Amino acid sequence: VKYVPVPLKTQSYRIDIGPGLLEHSGRRLTAAGFAGKAVVVTNPVVKRRHGPRLRKSLDEAGFNVTWLTVSEGEAFKSLESARRLFEELAGAYIERNTPLLALGGGVVGDLAGFVAATYLRGLPFFQVPTTLLAQVDSSIGGKVAVNLGNMKNMVGAFYQPQGVIADIDTLKTLPPPVFTAGLAEVVKCAFIGDDKFLVYLEDNLEKIRNRDGGALEETVFYTARIKAEIVVQDEKETGVRALLNFGHTIGHAVEAASDFAISHGEAVAMGMMAAGRLSHRLGYLREAELVRLADLIRRAGLPTAIPPLNRERLIEALRHDKKRRAKTLRFVLLNSLGKGFVSEEVTPALIGAILEDSRAP
């Protein structure tokens, strides 16, 4: 088991990473000073696969657990779901000191976190992430939200958990595309923040993709540590946290321009490749580094070329990126592999040129 500390001003907590942690979560809650009631928010798929291990552990530690489920899928990360959960919490007489656990991927984590942040002005909250993306990305940093119709994450808060319990055994039941999507965020963190981890990934990608336990633990640990270090420097996303958007400016535009036929992970992979090309074009990344970047994305099972979508639509989507500031595009580039930085020198025209040569042949 490995630990990543997240020493924030508002709240310090720890990310636990390892196998068999669901079996220990009851004791983890007891050690944190909780007893009596607890709430678990999950979805039916995760509940069936991993609920029994958590249930047993919470039962053995003497908790009286209220289980709440939300249907699977991004569409249920909504105010309607939140409202139903509020009513169910009220119906179960849940009080302010009752811990709420989010057992699931980013959808469950964001929704349950939003509910925990607002119900009775805040319940103690624990993230129990069960996807690779949730373990390395969405469970860390305290961003919680629901969507407003098709506008993603429009209503939310910064609300830090009291702990993150990342049981890597849960990753073994992930459908391959869901696992691969998480790998996009893993390689992203290596590109922006850690050249040693990049070498580790290059050496161990096959093991990771085969879900070798040791390799998964190492990978989640390194990635979570990179994200946590960035979040600690910039809790409310006013500065360096923007680095985590590497590949996401173009990625979001690709997602939108494909009407979400292209998944987030694939779109981010394409966006990272394009951002790598921009970094090369502007004289930062060397040719050999660009080749390494492309190789790693491909070996992760992710695409590098943007399919021939309507170019105008893509550029239009870029103009509407919500992270855009005034006239200049804030854009994350790489100085070298393992070193991201925020640039103000990227123009829409330059992106247009890069998108032209990022298309599939």
Ligand X SMILES: NC(=O)c1ccc[n+]([C@@H]2O[C@H](COP(=O)([O-])OP(=O)(O)OC[C@H]3O[C@@H](n4cnc5c(N)ncnc54)[C@H](O)[C@@H]3O)[C@@H](O)[C@H]2O)c1
**Is 143 among the catalytic positions?**
yes
Stretch that binds ligand X, among 101-109, 114-122, 204-212, 306-314 (CB under 6 A): 101-109
50 is catalytic: no
- Cβ(358)–Cβ(306) below 8 Å: yes
Residue 205 CA to residue 320 CA, distance in Å, equals 35
Q: Measured between alpha carbons, how far is 84 from 110 in angstroms, rounded to an integer? A: 15
Residue 201 backbone class (left: φ over 0; alpha: ψ -120 to 50; beta: rest): alpha
Q: Which of 24, 185, 255, 277 is catalytic?
A: 185
- The single residue among 110, 167, 218, 266 that binds ligand X, judged by CB under 6 A, is 110
232 part of the interface to ligand X, by CB under 6 A:
no
- Residue 235 beta carbon to ligand X: minimum distance, rounded to whole angstroms: 12
φ and ψ at 343, to 5 degrees? Answer: -110, 150
Q: Is 248 a catalytic residue?
A: yes
Contact between 43 and ligand X per CB under 6 A: yes
Q: How far is the CB of 288 from ligand X (least distance, A)?
A: 31
Examine the residue annotation and report whether 227 is marked as an active-site residue of this protein: yes
Sign of CA dihedral 55, 61, 66, 69: negative
Applying the rule CB under 6 A, the residues between 154 and 213 that interact with ligand X are: 170, 173-174, 178, 181
Among 74, 212, 229, 237, which residue sits at the site for ligand X (rule: CB under 6 A)? 74
- Which among 188, 225, 248, 277 is annotated as catalytic? 248
**Three-state DSSP class for 202?**
helix
Residue of 260, 243, 202 whose CA lies nearest to 343? 243
Catalytic residue among 47, 50, 241, 280: 241
Q: Tell me which of 46, 85, 208, 300 binds ligand X, using CB under 6 A.
A: 46
Is 185 part of the annotated catalytic residue set? yes
What's the gap between Cα 121 and its chain centre?
Answer: 25
The yes-or-no answer on residue 264 being catalytic is: yes
Instruction: Please state the φ and ψ torsions of residue 99, each to the nearest 5 degrees.
Output: -75, 140
DSSP 8-class letter at 9:
S
**Does 77 engage in binding with ligand X (CB under 6 A)?**
yes
Nearest 5°: CA angle at 25, between 188 and 59?
A: 145
Catalytic residues: 121, 143, 185, 227, 237, 241, 245, 248, 252, 264
Residues near ligand X (CB under 6 A) are: 43, 45-46, 49-50, 72, 74, 77, 104-108, 110, 130-131, 133-134, 137-138, 141, 143, 152-153, 170, 173-174, 178, 181
